[in-house]
Structure formats: structure tokens, C-alpha cells
Structure 1
Amino acid sequence: MADEAGMALAQRVYDRLDGDDATSAVTMALVEEGRSPRLRSMLLYRRSAPEGEVSTLIRFTEPADIEGTGLLTIDAADGASNQWIYLPAMQRVRRVDSNRKGGRFVNSDYYYEDLRDRKPSMDEHRLLGREVVDGVECDVLESIPVEAGNSVYKRRVSWIDPASHLPLRIDFFEKDPQAPSKRLRVERREQVQGYWTVMDSTLTDLGSGHQTRLTVRSIAYDRSLPERLFSSKALEDERMEREFRP
């Protein structure tokens, strides 16, 4: 059952100040036991419109086998989400089927759903209490989809730092609502231009032990990124995006 405290906390987390837009250079490391980490470089652009729409463009720049691959996500104010992927080998933009919420993005531990903006109203929220994570006493927040079909997860449990409103840990439950299938841990966070920012995080598949680590090499907020950057045309034509690279 949802409670008012849980709903209010979920809204505060969602409303956390993170700038009108952000541009970041990120290293993605795919880590599995017995193998050297596979490293990828990517650029991530995010723009929040005043009316509530959130747009994100991801572009891989290294290594050669993934260079140029891009993902565009447009999350409407009403919670509707649309995604398109660009694969250089195919030389065309392809829409990501909305039913592919649980599809793995470029063989990482991130699902397509994990890369979408999620409105608090899409879940029922409940405050479970307080627990310490990495020396920080966090509010523990449970979130369960209002409609089972709107998420690949049955529930999520987040450990929220009350000072920054950043989740320091999130457990994701897919098949068994009592046994998490994935866990996100924040390894490092900093204030950049006054905004609390996750600089290093690890998402672990608890079944296989496979990990995806995202490390932010640089980030800049409030650069007045234009709406045209978040279009299928810019997704397909890297020249439209290059001028905004950090």
C-alpha cells in the first residue's frame, strides 16, 4: 500500500535540481569474472523542457565496433516514452518497440527501460524506514508499478540520501518480488556547478555477477542545448551533434 510519506519522497527525488540540460563524457565498462573489462566511450546529452518533457541522446565514440551507435529517448510529460536506435552498419534509425522494456542496451546490464525517465505517478510508493548505506543514513523507498505492464520490474527498492535526494543504491525485482535480480550502487558522487551528480556507479546482474560500470569523465550543465539536437535527424547525422560535444 502506498503512503503519503513515500509519495512525497518519490516526488522530491524526481524534482531534485539537475539543471535544464547536461552534457557528459562517460566510460562504460562491461565486467565479468575471468575476462578483461570491455571499455566503451560515450557522450550523453539530456534536456528537460519546462513543460515536463525529458529528452536524452546517447552516442558511442569508441571502440570501432560500436562507434556511431546512438539512442534517442523522448519522455513526454504524461509518462509516454519513445526510443529510437541508430546502428551505423544499417545506416538507418529504427524505433525501439515499446514492449522491449527488458531488452539489454548494447549488451550491458541496462535495460531500455532503465534509460527512460520515470514519473513518480507511474508507481505506488511506500517508505519502509531508514538504513545506512556507505555511512549515510538513507530513507528506504519501495516503488511498485501502478500497472504491471508499465515496467519490467515487479518492484524497486531505493536507498535515498536525504541531503542530496540521490539514490545511493537501488534493488530491482523482476520475477520474484522478494529476491532482487539487479543492484545499482553509487560509488562516487560530487557537486558540479551546484548540482549533486553521480560520477561513478555500478549496475550488477545478481544472477550472473556481470557488471556495467559507468564513470563520468566530464560533465557540464546548462549549456542551452537546442531541441533540434534531440531528433531522429541528429541521431542519424553525427555532424549535427558534434558541435555540442564537450
Structure 2
Amino acid sequence: MYVCMVIVSVLATGLTFAESADNILDSVKKNNNFRWAYMKVKMVLEDSMGTKRERVFEWYMENENVEHKGVVVVTSPTSMNGIKFLFIKKGEEHLQYIYMPLMKRVRRIGMDESYSSFLGSDLTYYDLKHQNYSGYRNILMGREACPQTGGSCYKIKTMLNSNAPYKYIVQWIKVDAAIPVKISFFDTSGLVKVLEVKKIKNVKGHIIASSTHIHNVVTKHTTNITVEDVSIDTPLDERVFSFNALK
């Protein structure tokens, strides 16, 4: 998933001897090798008129071989308190579920909802899928200065398949950290939105994007994501990631 890849990655120093787009993206994938992760995340949403809304949620993640799981528990605002999400990727299969406390039921998020907004933000459910595009057509466009975070970045263009909401994306990936610090999303009409990492920090050898900004150039809507608390590789109860735990 874009957010997972951007928010947490492991320090890497061995990319420079294998400068191909696929190898670089494989390194990003391999370096997201935490077993468990927990984060408390705040999102501030701002529309074109300057009206702001806030979302706070806890995000639990688990990686085990080819299976990746994520659980989001919304804690604020009060009107959304208790909404939960379960994201599962096993092999090439993606499953997404949502629990609505008012309805007291769990339902699967269908393919037709993949392009819908996640909690009113500039992220979609498609964006939250665990993927790094190493199996797509990737083009290494060169190296240039990283935006915002400094240092040197690989610039990679990825052509997506027909099921994606975007025609292609362009990523800026830090040479010394194997983490995307900027992603531009394009559809058939042109640039749709830009994700930029504003601040990063090191937590137990993992690079954390502590502040991320997303700007939708079409709607003029923005999302600011702040990681307020984080724990890496502290064991989590397997039951946290069960279907029954959503209820």
C-alpha cells in the first residue's frame, strides 16, 4: 500500500550497485521487513474553501511471508469512533473489510468502491493496497535531489494496468533509505494528486515518514498526515487481525 510503503521503510545502503527500476522497487519491498508495527495517526483534511476536518486512528500492521494484514481503528471524531477496517493481502489477492458500529455489521469493500475516498481524505482504498509495483513496467528516469527531505533520489515511472484508477505514477525514492518521499499520480487527463513526505525520522533502524502532505490538484483538497506515536516489531496479538475482532 502506498501509505505503508511511505510511512515506514528500513535503512538501506546497497541500492547504488544495481540501479534498475525493478531492483530499486524490489529493495523498497524487501526493506519493509518489519514483523509488526503500530501507529497512531492524525489526518487533517482541508477543502478548497479552507474548511478543516480531523481524523485520528490507530493502525496495526503485520507481515508474515506472503501475507500482509492491516487494521485501522478510528478514534476521532466522535461520529466516526469505532469504525474499523481490515486489509489483507495474500499472494495477489486483496481483501478489504469495514465495520460500521451503528449498523453493527462487517461488510466487504467491493471493487467498485476501490476508488472511493478513505475517511474523506485524498487517499482511496486502492491506495491502501499493499503493493510496490515491482511487477509492472517500470522506467528509471534518473537521479535528482529529493524534494523536501534532501539527499539523492531515484526517479521511477510506473505504468499501471487498466484496472487502476491511475494511468501511471512517478516516484522519488531515497537512495540511502529505500523509501518513496514523493509520488505523483496521473490519469488519462494528467496530474491528479501529489504525495510528499515532509519529515522523516529513524525508529529502531526504520525510516518513518512522520509528516506527509497530499494535494489533489483537481479538487484543491489536501490531506496532512502526522504519525503521533509509533512502535516497530513489538509483538501484537494475532487476534487483533482476525475478522471477529472487527465486531
Equivalent residue, structure 2, for 1:142? 157
Asked if residue 124 in structure 1 is aligned to residue 137 in structure 2, the reply is yes
1:80-99 paired onto structure 2 within 5 Å: 80-99=93-112
Q: Following TM superposition, by how much is the alpha carbon of 1:121 offset from its aligned partner in structure 2, in angstroms?
A: 4.2
- CA-to-partner distance for each residue in 1:45-72, whole Å, 9 max, x for gaps? 00001x2211000111011111011111
C-alpha distance in 2, partners of 1:44/1:221? Answer: 12
AA aligned opposite 1:12: S
C-alpha distance in 2, partners of 1:230/1:98? Answer: 21
- CA-to-partner distance for each residue in 1:59-113, whole Å, 9 max, x for gaps? 110111110111110011x221000011111111010002322111122111001
From 41, 46, 61, the equivalent of 2:56 is: 41
C-alpha distance in 1, partners of 2:70/2:215? Answer: 23
AA aligned opposite 1:205: N
AA aligned opposite 1:28: M
* C-alpha contact (below 8 Å) 2:195/2:214 kept by paired residues: yes
What is the SS of the residue equivalent to 1:120? coil
Equivalent residue, structure 2, for 1:186? 197
1:224-235 paired onto structure 2 within 5 Å: 224-235=235-246
Range that drifts further, 183-192 or 134-143: 134-143
What is the SS of the residue equivalent to 1:105? coil
From 181, 197, 206, the equivalent of 2:208 is: 197
What is the SS of the residue equivalent to 1:30? strand
C-alpha distance in 1, partners of 2:21/2:135? Answer: 13
In structure 1, stretches of 5+ residues that fail to align are 237-246
Asked if residue 21 in structure 1 is aligned to residue 32 in structure 2, the reply is no
| Residues paired across the two proteins, number | 227
From 92, 102, 114, the equivalent of 1:101 is: 114
Structure 1: 4+ residue segments shifted above 4 A: none
* C-alpha contact (below 8 Å) 2:28/2:132 kept by paired residues: no
* C-alpha contact (below 8 Å) 1:82/1:98 kept by paired residues: no
Give TM-score scaled by structure 2 length. Answer: 0.87
Equivalent residue, structure 1, for 2:186? 173
What is the SS of the residue equivalent to 1:99? helix
What is the SS of the residue equivalent to 1:7? helix
Equivalent residue, structure 1, for 2:166? 153
* C-alpha contact (below 8 Å) 1:28/1:213 kept by paired residues: yes
In structure 2, stretches of 5+ residues that fail to align are 1-18
* C-alpha contact (below 8 Å) 1:24/1:218 kept by paired residues: yes
- CA RMSD, 1 decimal: 1.5
Q: Following TM superposition, by how much is the alpha carbon of 1:119 offset from its aligned partner in structure 2, in angstroms?
A: 4.5
